[in-house]
Amino acid sequence: QWKVRRTLAFSIHELAVILGDQLTAADLVPIFNGFLKDLDEVRIGVLKHLYDFLKLLHADKRREYLYQLQEFMVTDNSRNWRFRYELAQLILIIELYSHYDVYDYLREIALTLCSDKVSEVRWISYKLVVEILQKLYACGADELGLNFINELTVRFCHCPKWVGRQAFAFICQAIVEEDCMPMEQFSQHLLPSLLSLSSDPVANVRVLVAKALRQS
């Protein structure tokens, strides 16, 4: 019965706390892995509490799930955007992984979600981008941070669709608000691109650029 599995998927992290790490690894991880391949109604429970479950695992076991995060982008129903929304909220799991893993696995998910057709998904994913940048710069991985910034610029600032350019302005505003990178880096690598959008043909983009510039 999928309804029973769904109930367990939503509470498996609580069972893990009770059982402890050894029993969780032996008995719950196989069940958890099965839920990852289950119906969307079951998988959403796993995704909602992914951080709570992963933090209870040993680092090597936890790392195995990085490869599977991308699978949550694929759903039974393409209109099922709540999956992507939950995935964009995976800000907490950033602390569970090294900056290299965050760059290699979460960066691409964040970039994809920033282009989502559902605005709620896009808005929450901008926060994910900011948290990734914060992680990279906090760990002294300035080069990876710069690579990520260049990707954001190419993908969004130079996007032929105005929604993409609007996303770039949103991201810049969020970066400044959260102070997630050194301001001299922002001024050097993001500000010129942001300024270039101040004469964008679309009013919505120009308004957001003005807001972002006021913040900075």
pTM over 0.85: yes
Q: Which pLDDT score is estimated for 71?
A: 79
From residue 31, how far is each of 19, 27, 34, 38, 63 by CA, in Å? 14, 7, 5, 11, 17
Q: Which pLDDT score is estimated for 104?
A: 95
Q: Are 42 and 34 in contact (CB under 8 A)?
A: no
Tokens representing 169 are 């302005």
**15 vs 19: CA distance, rounded Å:** 6
pLDDT in tens, the chain (216 residues): 889 999 999 999 999 999 988 888 889 999 998 998 888 889 889 999 999 999 999 998 899 888 888 877 777 666 678 888 888 888 889 999 999 999 999 999 999 999 998 999 999 999 999 999 999 999 999 999 999 999 999 999 999 999 999 999 999 999 999 999 999 999 999 999 999 999 999 999 999 999 989 877
